[in-house]
Amino acid sequence: MELIAMEKASLEQVAVEHAIRGQTPNQAVMSRSVEGPGEMGKAVIIPKENQEKMKELFKINQFNLMASDMIALNRSLPDVHPDDLPNTSIVIVFHNEAWSTLLRTVHSVINRSPRHLLMEILLVPVRILRMEQRSGLIRARLRGAAATRGQVITFLDAHCECTVGWLEPLLARIKEDRKAVVCPIIDVISDDTFEYMAGSDMTYGGFNWKLNFRWYPVPQREMDRRKGDRTLPNPDNGWRLVLHRQNLF
């Protein structure tokens, strides 16, 4: 089976050479000064001599307008995710995939994933060339997983796009429980216009009596039982976008 591995050094080169324009969000944050008022989410303390004026301005919007006007419009904020998250190898299986959607998937992973968390991307064609026969999706994924070196294995479809901040919450869940197999909310990209539409976090994967996979709304009784926790156990998630520890199985 042909295996294309994009190592860390290559990821950096591709990100620089093929970014559509400007910096990625992570690069933009890292390059900004963090010395100004309110940077990194720090409190802005108004001097005593300006307290009266501050109180007058507070009445306009019912918040500290003086402090707000001192803070940069694009101020930096701290990363609230846990430290020392595990890194991940991303496995993408494809067969007869359109190059535009496949490469857009790869670009979105590179541009919207923190560099230190992205070990490698492996693209695995489904056909075993030497045997001239297809192996199927699951065997192809297992072949890709066997070649990974990251602490976590991430399986992605070959026609998806990752949004900003997609990776850290998933890795944080795995750090909390090494046996967890996690899945993100799967949003929608129109097959007609390619419009991006946010999905609902109030659904879970399951099967009907014909054993067809479907998304079902979460019943209110389950939300009441979980006391509003919107992270839900899933009987099945379609097995399209999942993460788990390298040595889980």
Which residue ranges make up each domain of the chain? 4-24+80-245, 39-70
- Please, which pLDDT band fits residue 105 given cuts at 50, 70 and 90? very high
Q: What is the pLDDT of residue 127?
A: 47
Q: Say which amino acid occupies 207.
A: F
Q: What is the pLDDT of residue 151?
A: 93
Q: Are the CB atoms for 119 and 150 separated by under 8 Å? A: yes
Average pLDDT, the chain: 79
Q: What is the mean pLDDT of residues 224-240?
A: 70
Q: SS3 of 98, please?
A: coil
> What distance in Å separates the CA atoms of residue 239 and residue 233, rounded to the nearest whole number?
14
> What distance in Å separates the CA atoms of residue 230 and residue 72, rounded to the nearest whole number?
33
Q: What is the pLDDT of residue 74?
A: 85
Closest CA to 112 of 6, 29, 10, 190: 29
Closest CA to 85 of 7, 168, 182, 181: 168
Whether residue 75 is predicted with pLDDT greater than 70 in this model: the reply is yes
- Please, which pLDDT band fits residue 246 given cuts at 50, 70 and 90? confident
Q: SS3 of 216, please?
A: strand
Q: Report if pTM > 0.85.
A: no
Element at 26 (helix H, strand E): helix 25-31
As its CATH architecture, domain 4-24+80-245 has Alpha-Beta Complex (3.90)
